[in-house]
Amino acid sequence: MDKTGGVPNIYVEAVGIMKVTPDTSQDYDHLPPEIKPPLLEDLTEKQHRLCVYCERRIHARENGRGSRAHIEHWHPRHSERGKHDSQAAKEDDKLSIEYRNMFACCDGATGDGEQCCDKKRKNIELHVDPAEEECRRRISYCPGSGYMRGADGDDGAEADITVLNLNERQLVANRKSYISEYLRRLFARCSGGSAKTRNELEKEKQRILALRQWPEYGGIILAMIDKRLRQYGG
């Protein structure tokens, strides 16, 4: 996720006030509640309205399309270590108000009576940080099955996929159906030789990157386009 747009001023001001207010706990629970809706909207926009984990459509306001979003902390606010170690608990509190540690997440419902994403993970710590540029390279998508895997035997990524339940049956079916149809339409425009194919793929990549709202599973689609471009020397 690209957060180069900066931290919202309203959030900077609220954290600054909290830090200089005597006898105020410096953690997420003590942030003014009125700043959380604009913060969620900011995170949702920067994620192109996709859940940070499953990449399904999310929205931050009433009557939006997709799953209702909420603020998720990549490093959990109440880690297992923090329950038994006071220093770890202090680190949890510190990270709970770090903008870099916050993301927009879906409601965790798969439509199959199961849970995914943060609803499934609870307070388990993860390995793949969505704020890191290498994030997308650590996870691979199998178009034939619709499953997600850790790339090149990445055990940390594989563990995260399991913890977040990203290969739940209904998630896999929906993801495979959407991506297969998207790529079918894209590759139908790519006949006519390698130069035309490379040009069409690059055009589609730039089109997606320019959108405020990416297609669902946009990160996966971009990764697959990049993989195909490398095959054509792009």
pLDDT band at 234 (very low <50, low <70, confident <90, very high): low
Percent of the chain with pLDDT over 90: 78
Structure confidence at residue 233 (pLDDT): 73
pLDDT band at 193 (very low <50, low <70, confident <90, very high): confident
Q: And the tokens for 86? A: 């006071």
pLDDT, average across residues 99-120? 94
pLDDT, average across residues 206-229? 95
pLDDT, average across residues 22-32? 92
Looking up tokens 């949702």 gives 44
User: Of all helices (H) and strands (E), which one includes residue 102?
Assistant: strand 102-105
Structure confidence at residue 1 (pLDDT): 74
**Spacing of C-alpha 38 from chain mean position:** 18
